Amino acid sequence: MSLPTVAASCDLLRDGRPLIDVRAPVEFAAGALPGAVNLPLMDDEERHQVGLQYKQVGPESAVHLGHQLVSGGIKKARIRAWVEYVEQHPDAILYCFRGGMRSQLSQQWLKEAGVERPRIAGGWKAMRHQVCQMIDERVEQAPMLLIGGLTGCAKTELIHALDNGVDLEGCARHKGSAFGRHPFPAPSQIDFEHRLGADMLQLAPDAPSVMEDESRFIGSVNIPLTAWRAMEQAPLIRVEMPLDWRLVQIQKDYIEGLWAIYSSHYGDFLGWALMQRQLRQALLRLRKRLGSARLARLVRMQEIAFSEHKRGNASAHEAWLAPLLSEYYDPMYRYQLEKHERTFLHVGDWDNSLAFAREWSATHRWQR
């Protein structure tokens, strides 16, 4: 039976093509293609049994076992899931790890059910190669500008205000500090890289990229080495805003944004408990750097703020956020500046820095 294929290409991601990942859930969790839905041919236990059979007996026996495990009602349910997805997304494409037996078998069963869809030639592995190659090409050849500044200068918002901004923290699902953890699990390293690639694909073909000046590690993931080396050489601008302005921004990021996520997903009672736990743990993680006396003072102020917040006074958090900025984050940032002797193309307030980044971007188009 002849089954159609499409070439592995970043265009599939750029165009937002619906993708059906027929690998097992454990494989999907380790790293999938952006926007893909996991509708597996085999679940984790079935895949495990087939893998053991392959190693101990051989490929033919493994295939036979796979057909035994995925048969009858199980097979019908999985075909039904694929058909229903394709009915909602008629241009969907299937893939497995290498574009081999699993995606071909899924295609065959779909075709027998009256639905014909292509699979990606080379599968996930070929697509990952394309994405990683594209990232390397862009960061090595396209102009890049970095945005730096003290904590609370709304650098991420500045990135989002640019047509050519790439939000590394958004890709990592982490704000890059002890208080930057997202309520939901961080992506795998592979998913972080794929999300970064997908965001780069949305830039105009000749656009330079503008990113926040980050350390290589953002939460539990790290910036790919080629991209990191390019960032080390990229020109840098610095946003400078007064403490009062930054406190308002920190309040939005660390308190209001966090509470909105927790309350919407867990309800007010459990969400409140989880938010408090995260903020307490974040502060305690700074024990060595803050010192016992300063930590104890900030912990007390944080507890008072929680009580006030519960009464409706969320601005009470400024009492511990202000010293956290002025006594910890600001000195740490200035120390890093002195240590690495960074030079800046531009230093200005938020609006001025945004205007500069736009002007720089307009005059640094990428000539391929």
Q: Which residues belong to the active site?
A: 96
Paired with 126 in beta bridges are none
Sheet holding 5-6, edge to edge: 5-6, 119-120, 93-95, 19-21, 37-38
How far, in Å, are 47, 166, 186, 326 from residue 170 at the CA level?
33, 9, 10, 26
CA distance 171 to 194: 9
Q: Which residues of 118-147 are buried (b: 16+ CB within 10 A; e: fewer)?
A: bbbbbbbbbbbebbbebbeebbeebbbbbb
283 and 292 in contact (C-beta within 8 Å)?
Answer: no
CA distance 159 to 139: 17
Which H or E run includes 281? Answer: helix 257-284
68 and 94 in contact (C-beta within 8 Å)?
Answer: no
CA distance 260 to 278: 14
CA distance 66 to 63: 5
Residues 6+ positions from 76 with CB-CB distance below 8 Å: none
Give Cα 71 to chain centroid, integer Å.
37
Q: Is the dihedral of CA 347, 349, 354, 355 positive or negative?
A: negative
Residue 81, class by beta-carbon neighbours within 10 Å (0-12 exposed, 13-18 middle, 19+ buried)? middle
